[in-house]
Amino acid sequence: MAYDIIKRLQKIGREDILDQLSAGLMAREIGKGQKHRVFEESFDAKASYSENFLIQKIGYIHHNPVSGKWNLVSDYSKYERSSASFYEDGEAKHFVPKHYKDV
Are 2 and 36 in contact by the 8 Å Cβ rule? The answer is: yes
The amino acid present at 22, given as its one-letter code, is S
How many whole angstroms separate alpha carbon 61 and alpha carbon 83?
9
CB atoms < 10 A from the CB of 2, how many?
A: 11
Return the closest-CA partner of residue 88 out of 60, 56, 62, 54.
Answer: 62
* pLDDT tens, residue by residue, 8-54: 999 999 999 999 999 978 888 889 888 998 887 777 788 888 999 99
- Across the range 84-102, mean pLDDT stands at 87
Q: What is the per-residue pLDDT for 50?
A: 92
Q: What is the per-residue pLDDT for 70?
A: 76
Return the closest-CA partner of residue 37 out of 56, 19, 58.
Answer: 19
Q: Using pLDDT thresholds of 50, 70 and 90, give the confidence band for residue 96.
A: confident
Are 21 and 3 in contact by the 8 Å Cβ rule? The answer is: no
Return the closest-CA partner of residue 82 out of 55, 64, 69.
Answer: 64
Q: What is the per-residue pLDDT for 53?
A: 94
User: Mapping DSSP to helix (H, G, I), strand (E, B) and coil, where does residue 7 land?
Assistant: helix
